[in-house]
């Protein structure tokens, strides 16, 4: 049966900051263009998770009067701290000695999910058609090979792919230009990068996994507007990562941890490192007596300019972290994602009006401040492959003395799935048990994410070789999926002395870490039925 | 035949509900909201009846704040023909909702009123019953199967002892159980079309219904945390603990 088709001028896949900025800018430039935006979450914002200390530069350009329109950007940063953590001690680093990219005095502590909800309202007011709950699951191509649009997922299939009573066929959305704004490791973006060889001549992309918890803390421990970052313990010198502690409004603290997915020890559990981090005296003293109210995790891009793929192809553009525009030393990607969306919108309107090729996106991008930022930031992350100490020394020289203008570019040598060492040569890590006050297990954490997927639907975490986890990955790497997954989707169960690899896909919070870190790239994340996944509030 | 289906906007069933620190209620800011699940079953059943040719029109109605319209819009996307939104802000109790629905029934003159057996936010399980009393119509609650028998409905009810089959005259109020059917998904084309279907907005105050709260809510608090379990070595120890510590045997 052929699918129903709708024609639009522009179809945007993903309702995060980059996709929404694209949509808004297009309608501002030409209100007659038909713009449709699809989002896989049950509502805009429900799959958004971010720190977030927000630089308003792109928002200032997009919606100049955002303050009058009551944008949820309210808590200005008023104090900053940077701590190096030892096991029980901490050393405060003077903020005047921080590179300027890490200074935040003009920025705001926000919930990016709430900002996206607000951006969606602005977009709808301009006439953008927004459809949450509809994942784009398939790319459609014209005969000449250019991107024609996307198709939404069929709904109501059972595990074996048979139609249930509730079956609804997916729909084709055709567009003159399709914009992919799925965020880090978008599953369609990944296919496009491969098909059009967009990453040719680029370094392998680098990723991290970021955790976030929201705590409601005691009044006396709360300092609205305080931003704190830490490096060091509990990670060793060789593992890239650090924490953030942002004091937001309503006595809430946004507490998070980011670990580079280029870590080498398969016994490492990012989730448990995060939990352990909270037991450090300088962190525990903040949250003690408080209550954890939210939890979530999401992979993020760390590769920067060296790994940034070409962002245009016939009929389509990549924006935001579907390409990888995050500024790693700034630990910020929302403003760059939005700016890439603004540039994409300008490209689209110009290309449709004047019949120009989409390749003008690249020139525009290179002339913009995003490119300058990413260029100045490019050497920071690769320098940390020499370890924390050398990384900090180099970053000091690169960022403070030379302001990112050193005449060379360091390379990312390996993709993250290539970095694990065999389990038998790496030390096992003994993580403390959760106390259910400060630290928690994965089960109680996933409960806070509101995650659900309809039962009896095709498993959306697909194995290329279903025997590989037990036959190879378990023996060689002690099956690290059990540990890198932040919600315990993957388990090794022992039944009658037979080991079994179990995928609890219902718990998946769409972070994409497995798709990135699986050493043989054996796991592919595809879209589950629409509306599934986490239901984040103000993450 | 015309069916009126009442739908309510509640906190999504997947969201972990959090009690406000001051005990005045639960946190609803930036929380995902959805249609009350058994209301989805009520809409689905109405649509099925319409598809079988036994009903001509389905009208979806909701009572609540501006955003409650989303639930009507969803009903329109899966097959309701038009919608009514009774606007009222703040907490509204089942009795007031029943009185509002009574006015809508008088105006719309449906043959059947469907709704979920209860809402998952306050778990009151009252609106359907009170509406039937106000209208002096028969009621069939917790319906898990509905069949037409000439001018009557044969309804299977989910009760504690098992299943009860009853017959009611039409017009009637039917409250639906989750087992009644599997609600369909709204397809994207139908959501697009639903955006163009009409929703009539009426202010509750214009209906002449007193929506004042009758119940004073004193405090909302979380249930006590469950204590961690323990492992016992053998049956004897279990029996001893059940007898002496738990004092249940």
A1 — pLDDT class (breaks 50, 70, 90) = low
Output the pLDDT for position B150.
85
Burial category of B48 from C-beta neighbours within 10 Å (exposed 0-12, middle 13-18, buried 19 and up)? middle
A interface test, pick of B188, B193, B228, B229 with most A CB neighbours within 10 Å: B188
* For residues B166-173, average pLDDT: 97
Could you give the percent of chain A with pLDDT greater than 70?
A: 100
Instruction: Say whether A111 and B12 touch across the interface (CB within 8 A).
Output: no
Interface contact B22, partner A, CB < 8 A? no
Of B14, B183, B188, the CB nearest to A171: B188
| Residue A77, C-beta contacts closer than 8 angstroms, at least 6 positions apart | A53, A104, A105, A106, A107, A108, A109, A225, A226, A227
Return phi, psi of residue A108, to 5°. -125, 145
Helix (H, G, I), strand (E, B) or coil at A497: coil
Distance CA B116, CA B39 (A): 4
Give residue B33's pLDDT: 94
Q: How far is A488 from chain B (nearest CA, A)?
A: 18
Domains of chain A: 4-67+113-202+309-377 (3.50.50.60), 75-110+205-301 (3.30.9.90), 416-525 (3.30.70.20)
Q: Which of B31, B183, B188 has its CB closest to that of A166?
A: B183
- Please report the beta strands in B117-223, taking only residues with DSSP state E, as ranges in sequence order: 139-149, 152-159, 162-169, 172-176, 199-203
CA pair distance B141, A360, nearest whole angstrom: 64
How many residue contacts between A and B have a Cβ separation below 8 Å? 63
pLDDT tens per residue, range A10-32: 999 999 999 999 999 999 999 99
Summarised one tens digit per residue, pLDDT across range A424-439 is 999 999 999 999 999 9
Decide if pLDDT at B121 tops 70: yes
Residue with tokens 């279907």: B197
Residue with tokens 């989707």: A489
Give the model's pLDDT for residue A127.
96
Question: How far apart are the CA of A293 and the nearest CA of chain B, in angstroms?
Answer: 8
Q: Is the pLDDT of residue A378 over 70?
A: yes
pLDDT, position A89 = 87
Instruction: With a cut of 90, say whether residue A401 has pLDDT above it.
Output: no
Best mutation target, B16, B30, B66, B222, to test chain A (most A CBs within 10 A)? B30
CA dist A22 and A312 (Å) reads: 14
Rounded to the nearest integer, the mean pLDDT of chain B is: 94
Q: CA nearest A39 in B: which residue?
A: B188
Q: Which of B21, B29, B182 sits opposite A165 (nearest CB)?
A: B182
Instruction: Convert A299-319 to b/e letters by CB count within 10 Å (16 or more is b).
Output: bbbbbbbbbbbbbbbebbbbb
Q: Does residue B249 register a pLDDT over 90? A: no
Q: Is the pLDDT assigned to residue B100 strictly greater than 70?
A: yes
User: Would B203 be classed as within a structural domain?
Assistant: yes
- On whether residue B244 sits in a domain, the answer given is no
- Alpha-carbon distance of A93 to A103, in angstroms, equals 13
In a domain, B43, yes or no: yes
Residue B223 has a pLDDT of 87
A440 contact B CB<8A: no
Task: Please check whether residue B188 touches A, CB under 8 A.
Answer: yes
Whether B74 maps to a domain, the answer reads yes
Looking at chain A, the whole-number percentage of residues with pLDDT higher than 90 is 85
Convert the pLDDT of each residue in A30-81 to its tens digit.
Answer: 999 999 999 999 999 999 999 999 999 999 999 999 999 999 999 999 999 9
Q: Give percent above pLDDT 90 in chain B.
A: 80
CB contact under 8 A, B184 and A165: yes
- Do residue B30 and residue A6 have CB atoms under 8 angstroms apart? no
Query: For position A396, what pLDDT does the model report?
Result: 82
**Cβ of residue A383 closer than 8 Å to a chain B Cβ:** no
The per-residue pLDDT for range A315-367, each reduced to its tens digit, is 999 999 999 999 998 999 999 999 999 999 999 999 999 999 999 999 999 99
Report which listed range, A379-383, B128-132, B204-208, is most confident.
B128-132
CATH number at residue B203: 3.40.50.620
A174-A180-A182 Cα angle (round to 5): 130
Give the C-alpha separation, A308 to A409, whole Å.
14
- Residue B146: what pLDDT? 97
Among the listed residues B54, B82, B77, B102, the one whose alpha carbon sits nearest the alpha carbon of residue B210 = B102
Q: What are the residues facing A78 on neighbouring strands?
A: none
| Domain membership flag for residue B235 | no
Q: Do A535 and B15 touch (CB under 8 A)?
A: yes
pLDDT by residue (tens digit) across A192-220?
Answer: 999 999 999 999 999 999 999 999 999 99
Average pLDDT of chain A, as a whole number: 94
The residue segments making up the domain with residue B23 are 2-224
* Three-state DSSP state, B90: coil
Q: Which residues pair with B153 in a beta bridge?
A: B148, B168
**Residue whose C-alpha is closest to residue B246's, from B232, B222, B224:** B232
Evaluate whether A321 touches A302 at the Cβ level (below 8 Å): no
**Residue (of B145, B129, B163) closest to B6 by Cα position:** B129
CA distances from A328 to A119, A135, A286, A331, B9 (A): 24, 28, 26, 5, 41
Nearest-angstrom CA–CA distance, B94 and B127: 5
Give residue B158's pLDDT.
Answer: 92
- Residues A73-124 have pLDDT tens digits of 999 999 999 999 998 888 888 877 777 777 888 999 999 999 999 999 999 9
Most confident range, picked from A92-96, A409-413, B245-249: A409-413
In a domain, B76, yes or no: yes
Stated pTM of the model: 0.92
Domain count, chain B: 1
Q: Which one is predicted more confidently, B21 or B108?
A: B108
Mean pLDDT of all residues in A282-299: 96
- Note whether B30 contacts A: Cβ–Cβ < 8 A: yes
């Amino acid at each position: 049966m052929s699918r129903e088709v709708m024609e639009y001028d522009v179809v945007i896949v993903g309702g995060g900051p980059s996709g929404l900025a694209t949509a808004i800018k297009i309608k501002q430039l030409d209100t007659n263009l038909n713009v449709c935006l699809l989002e896989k979450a049950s509502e805009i914002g429900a799959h958004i998770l971010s720190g977030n200390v927000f630089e308003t530069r792109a928002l200032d350009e997009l919606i100049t009067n955002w303050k009058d329109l009551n944008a949820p950007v309210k808590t200005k940063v008023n104090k900053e701290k940077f701590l190096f953590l030892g096991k029980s001690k901490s050393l405060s680093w003077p903020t005047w000695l921080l590179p300027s990219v890490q200074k935040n005095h003009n920025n705001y502590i926000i919930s990016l999910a709430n900002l996206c909800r607000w951006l969606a309202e602005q977009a709808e007011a301009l006439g953008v058609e927004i459809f949450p709950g509809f994942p784009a699951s398939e790319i459609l191509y014209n005969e000449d090979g250019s991107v024609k649009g996307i198709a939404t997922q069929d709904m109501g299939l059972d595990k074996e792919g048979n139609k249930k009573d509730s079956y609804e066929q997916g729909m084709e959305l055709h567009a003159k230009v399709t914009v992919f704004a799925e965020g880090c490791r978008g599953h369609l973006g990944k296919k496009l990068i491969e098909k059009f060889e967009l990453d040719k001549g680029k370094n392998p992309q680098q990723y991290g996994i970021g955790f976030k918890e929201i705590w409601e803390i005691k009044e006396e421990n709360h300092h609205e507007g305080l931003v704190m970052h830490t490096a060091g313990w509990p990670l060793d010198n060789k593992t890239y990562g650090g924490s953030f502690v942002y004091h937001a409004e309503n006595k809430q603290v946004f507490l998070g941890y980011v670990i580079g997915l280029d870590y080498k020890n398969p016994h490492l559990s990012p989730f448990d490192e995060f939990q352990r981090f909270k037991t450090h005296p300088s962190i525990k003293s903040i949250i003690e007596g408080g209550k954890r109210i939210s939890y979530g995790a999401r992979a993020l891009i760390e590769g920067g300019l060296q790994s940034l793929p070409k962002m245009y192809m016939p009929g389509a553009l990549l924006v935001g972290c579907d390409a990888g525009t995050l500024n790693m030393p700034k630990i910020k990607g929302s403003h760059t994602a939005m700016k890439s969306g603004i540039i994409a919108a300008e490209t689209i309107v110009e290309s449709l009006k004047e019949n120009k090729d989409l390749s003008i996106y690249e020139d525009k991008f290179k002339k913009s401040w995003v490119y300058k930022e990413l260029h100045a930031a490019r050497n920071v992350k690769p320098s940390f492959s020499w370890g924390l100490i050398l990384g900090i020394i180099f970053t000091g020289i690169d960022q403070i003395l030379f302001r990112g203008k050193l005449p060379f570019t360091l390379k990312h040598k390996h993709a993250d799935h290539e970095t694990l060492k065999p389990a038998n040569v790496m030390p096992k890590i003994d993580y403390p048990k959760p106390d259910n006050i400060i630290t928690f297990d994965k089960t109680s954490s996933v409960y806070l994410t509101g995650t659900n997927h309809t039962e009896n639907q095709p498993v959306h975490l697909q194995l290329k070789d279903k025997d590989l986890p037990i036959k190879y990955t378990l023996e060689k790497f002690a099956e690290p999926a059990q540990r890198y997954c932040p919600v315990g989707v993957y388990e090794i169960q022992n039944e009658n002395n037979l080991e079994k690899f179990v995928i609890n896909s219902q718990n998946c919070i769409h972070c994409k870490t497995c798709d990135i870190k699986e050493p043989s790239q054996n796991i592919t994340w595809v879209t589950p039925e629409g509306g599934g996944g986490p239901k984040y509030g103000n993450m | 035949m015309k069916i009126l289906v009442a739908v309510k906007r509640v906190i999504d069933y997947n969201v972990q509900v959090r009690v406000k620190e001051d005990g005045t209620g639960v946190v609803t800011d930036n929380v995902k909201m959805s249609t009350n699940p058994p209301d989805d079953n009520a809409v689905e059943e109405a649509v099925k009846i319409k598809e079988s040719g036994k009903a001509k029109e389905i009208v979806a109605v909701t009572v609540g704040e501006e955003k409650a319209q989303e639930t009507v819009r969803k009903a329109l996307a899966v097959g309701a023909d038009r919608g009514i939104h009774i606007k009222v802000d703040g907490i509204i109790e089942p009795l007031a909702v029943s009185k509002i629905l009574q006015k809508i029934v008088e105006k719309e003159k449906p043959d059947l009123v469907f709704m979920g057996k209860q809402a998952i936010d306050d778990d009151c399980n009252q609106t359907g019953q009170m509406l039937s009393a106000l209208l002096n119509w028969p009621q069939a609650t917790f319906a898990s199967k509905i069949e037409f028998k000439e001018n009557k409905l044969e309804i299977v009810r989910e009760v504690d002892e098992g299943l009860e089959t009853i017959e009611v005259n039409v017009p009637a109020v039917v409250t639906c159980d989750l087992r009644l059917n599997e609600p369909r998904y709204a397809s994207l084309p139908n959501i697009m079309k639903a955006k163009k279907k009409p929703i009539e907005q009426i202010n509750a105050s214009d209906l002449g219904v007193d929506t004042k709260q009758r119940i004073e809510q004193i405090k909302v608090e979380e249930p006590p945390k469950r204590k961690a379990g323990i492992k016992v070595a053998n049956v004897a120890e279990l029996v001893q603990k059940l007898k002496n510590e738990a004092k249940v045997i």
